[in-house]
Structure 1
Amino acid sequence: MTAMKFIVIPTLLGLGFGLLLHAITGTWFFPWFFTFIGFLIGLGLHLELIVGMKGYGRIAVLWVFTLFFWLFLFIYMEENMQYTQFIYCLYSGLYYGAFIHVLAAKIIGPLFFGRGFCGWGCWNASAFDTLGLKRKVKPIKTKLVYLKYFIALLWALFTILIAVNYFQQGFDRLDLIIIENILIYTLGLGLGYVFGHRFYCRTICPYAALMSLISRLSLLKIEGNPNKCIDCGICENVCPMGIPIRSFIKKGVRISNGECIMCLTCVRACPKGVLKPTFKLPSLKEVFSK
Structure 2
Amino acid sequence: MALTSAPAASYALAQADLPVTDPAEKATLAAVALGLLALLAAAFDADPTRARLSFIVALALVSGGTLAWSWLKFGRRPAGVHQNNLWQRASTSRGAIAWVTGVVLTGFYVVLYWFPGLLENLIRTLDPFSQTLRAKPADQWFLYGTFYTLAVLLMGARALWKYRHSRYQLIRTCSVMFFQLGFAFLLPGLLLAFQQPEYYFTYFWPLKYDYLFPGTVGYLVKDGQALGVFMVFWGAVMSFLATPVLTYFYGKRWYCSWVCGCGGLAETAGDPYRQLSDKSRQAWKWEVRIIYPILALIVGLTALLWVGASGTVPALGAVTQPLSRFYGFAIGAVFSGVIGVGFYPIMGNRVWCRFGCPMAAYLGLLQKHFSRFRISTNGGQCISCGNCSNVCEMGIDVKQYAQRGEPIIRASCVGCGMCSTACPRGVLNLENGPREGRYQSSQLIHADSLRILS
Fold-level similarity (TM above 0.5): yes
1:87-166 equivalent positions in 2, closer than 5 A: 87-88=212-213, 96-104=233-241, 106-116=243-253, 117-136=255-274, 138-141=276-279, 142=283, 143-146=285-288, 147-161=290-304
Alignment TM-score, normalising by the size of structure 1:
0.66
Aligned to 1:207: 359
Higher relative contact order (CA 8 A, sep 6+): 1
Aligned to 1:222: 375
Aligned to 2:109: none
Aligned to 2:177: 63
Specify whether residues 120 and 218 from structure 1 end up closer, same or farther in structure 2 by C-alpha distance, changes over 3 A only.
same
Equivalent AA in structure 1 for residue 392 of structure 2: C
Provide, for residues 26-49 of structure 1, a one-character-per-residue CA deviation record: whole Å limited to 9, x for no partner: xxxxxxxxxxxxxxxxxxxxxx99
Specify whether residues 163 and 200 from structure 1 end up closer, same or farther in structure 2 by C-alpha distance, changes over 3 A only.
farther
The Cα of 1:139 is off from its aligned counterpart by 0.6
Contact 1:87/1:160 (8 A) holds in 2: no
Equivalent AA in structure 1 for residue 249 of structure 2: F
Alignment partner of 2:210 out of 77, 85, 105: 85
Contact 2:205/2:212 (8 A) holds in 1: no
The Cα of 1:132 is off from its aligned counterpart by 1.6
CA distance in 2: counterparts of 1:71 and 1:248, whole angstroms? 39
Pair member with larger Rg: 2
The Cα of 1:135 is off from its aligned counterpart by 4.0
Contact 2:273/2:344 (8 A) holds in 1: no
Contact 1:113/1:218 (8 A) holds in 2: yes
Contact 1:223/1:277 (8 A) holds in 2: yes
CA distance in 1: counterparts of 2:165 and 2:387, whole angstroms? 23
CA distance in 2: counterparts of 1:63 and 1:256, whole angstroms? 27
CA distance in 2: counterparts of 1:199 and 1:139, whole angstroms? 8
Alignment partner of 2:392 out of 229, 239, 259: 239
Contact 1:79/1:97 (8 A) holds in 2: no
CA distance in 1: counterparts of 2:371 and 2:187, whole angstroms? 28
Specify whether residues 193 and 155 from structure 1 end up closer, same or farther in structure 2 by C-alpha distance, changes over 3 A only.
farther
Unmatched 5+ residue regions in structure 1? 1-47, 169-178
CA distance in 1: counterparts of 2:434 and 2:394, whole angstroms? 24
1:186-205 equivalent positions in 2, closer than 5 A: 186-205=338-357
CA distance in 2: counterparts of 1:149 and 1:134, whole angstroms? 28
Provide, for residues 145-191 of structure 1, a one-character-per-residue CA deviation record: whole Å limited to 9, x for no partner: 2111101112233445569989x9xxxxxxxxxx9977634442113
Provide, for residues 105-162 of structure 1, a one-character-per-residue CA deviation record: whole Å limited to 9, x for no partner: 5321110111111011111211222222244451123112211110111223344556
Provide, for residues 186-234 of structure 1, a one-character-per-residue CA deviation record: whole Å limited to 9, x for no partner: 4421132321101111110001111111112322322111110112221
Specify whether residues 196 and 164 from structure 1 end up closer, same or farther in structure 2 by C-alpha distance, changes over 3 A only.
farther
Unmatched 5+ residue regions in structure 2? 1-161, 192-196, 219-228, 312-328, 441-454
Specify whether residues 49 and 128 from structure 1 end up closer, same or farther in structure 2 by C-alpha distance, changes over 3 A only.
closer
Equivalent AA in structure 2 for residue 126 of structure 1: G
CA distance in 2: counterparts of 1:129 and 1:232, whole angstroms? 23
Specify whether residues 101 and 254 from structure 1 end up closer, same or farther in structure 2 by C-alpha distance, changes over 3 A only.
same
Equivalent AA in structure 2 for residue 205 of structure 1: C
Contact 1:127/1:185 (8 A) holds in 2: no
Provide, for residues 227-267 of structure 1, a one-character-per-residue CA deviation record: whole Å limited to 9, x for no partner: 10112221011101111223333443321111111111011
Higher mean alpha-carbon deviation, 147-156 vs 213-222, is at 213-222
The Cα of 1:72 is off from its aligned counterpart by 6.2
